[in-house]
Structures are given as C-alpha cells and as structure tokens.
Structure 1
Amino acid sequence: MPLAASTARFLLLSVLLLSSPAVTVVRARVTALIVFGDSTVDAGNNNAVPTAVRSNFPPYGRDFPGGRATGRFCNGRVATDFYSEAFGLRPFVPAYLDPDYGIQDFAVGVCFASAGSGLDVATAGVFSVIPLSKQVDYFR
C-alpha cells in the first residue's frame, strides 16, 4: 500500500504541475535540417561520386515530384524529406553534391549522406562512397 500511495501522490503532483500556469512551454523553431548518414537518407550525393552504389534510375523516384529518380534509395522522398516539410521547410532536402543547387539553397537544409557509408572509413572505401568523416568535413 505505501507504494500505491506514493505513486498516487506523484501522479497528483505531476498533473498539478503540468496544468499550472507557471509552467512555460518552449517551442523551438527549426530553421534548417542538416543530414549526415547512409542510403536511408542519401538525397543523391552518390550521383556525383564514382561508385556503383546509385539509385538514379527507375524504378527509384517514381513517386517523387516529376517521377524522376534523384538518387534517393526509395520510390519518392526519404524520411528526412518528410521531417523537413513537417518543420515548415522545403518538401525535400537537396544533396550537397547536386550541381543544380548552390550554397544559397542550403540555408534551410542540406544532405551530406552517402549510400554505402558507415562509421568506419574502410566501409566507405570498399564502395568508393563518402565516409561519415568526409561528410562532416563537407559541412565544415
């Protein structure tokens, strides 16, 4: 019984504190989405490197606006594209190495991810892709 009473008091205090007007809710505004990673979030950087690990051909991209394969390893947008849109940014995050975009386009987000990369530089070396360490260097 003492445990149940303690739990009840804790829940009552939690409800009172959370409903108190003294509690301030801070809502952060996301101004940009910077993406590092592998094929789960690659927006097409591998299109610009000499590797066989690419997805810039059908059936990839069939649900992307315009039905074009962008280098994303999916049929449309990757998870970070949906996050970008949910944060009120553009509906997709451009690839850093995409020649159609410049530095001014990256003000609200950019993707440095490369399919086939990993934490170990040797993993990326096997596939001739951009290792995580190089992705971070690009960001700097």
Structure 2
Amino acid sequence: MEVVEQRPRLVSLRVTQFRGDNSAPAHAPQKLTLELTQDIEVGLGSAVAPDGPLLALVKVVLRAKAMSTEGEATGVEFEGSYEGKFEYPAGVKEEQVAARFATEPYQYVLVVQAVPLAMTHFRRELQAMGMDARELPLGF
C-alpha cells in the first residue's frame, strides 16, 4: 500500500512541441480515419537546487496520421510532445520511493494523470487545423 505522505502531485503539464501538416487539397468534406500512436516515458529525478523536491516526470509523444477510408495516406500528419511534472512532498528522498517507482502500477498512476490532459490539448489542436477529432479517445 502506498504511503500518502510520499505521494507526488501533478504541478504542471507543458506542451514542449506541436507540429502539424494539413496541406492536403481541401475538397468537399470527406471521411478520413486517424491512425494514432503514442510513446510514454517515465522518470524519477531531483530539482536542480540542492534542497529542491524530488520529481517524477512523464513524457508523452502523440502522433496522428490521416488515412482515407481506402487506407491510403493523405500526407496529413500531426505530432505533439508533452511533459508532466510531479513533485513529491518536502523531505521525501529517492531511496524511499525508488523501489515502488520501478513497478508498473506505480508508474501507471502517474501516466493516467498526464495522458488525458495531453490528449485533450492534442484533440483541440487537430480541430483547430481542420480535422474532426471528436472521436479520439481521451486516454488509452
């Protein structure tokens, strides 16, 4: 069971990069499907300051490609990178959480807080670039 006093809290989610290319010809509205992939990395570290808090970082990279209903690539591609930063309470040391941090359930608790926020931003950016992204999931 996790000790509540050692639980990190999400303090920020940054968009570190978003790139999109929707230069396909704008014919009449057409049905497209989005092929979505994601890469997620989780890390444990400390702040630069010597007395700084212990940090957990979640990096999420989302990529989407639009395909025609026949499965042909349209040249429409999007990619977004996001970083979620979690801070542990003052006084928590790496040795106290390192063993738990190495387990998948512990990392999952961090990831499920960052991915829906990243996906919400990603969906809004796709919609701003002319794609109907309402059916994309918010998480896994």
Q: Does TM, scored on the shorter chain, surpass 0.5?
A: no
TM class by smaller structure: under 0.3
Write 1 or 2 for the structure with the bigger share of helix. Answer: 1
TM-score, scaled relative to structure 2: 0.27
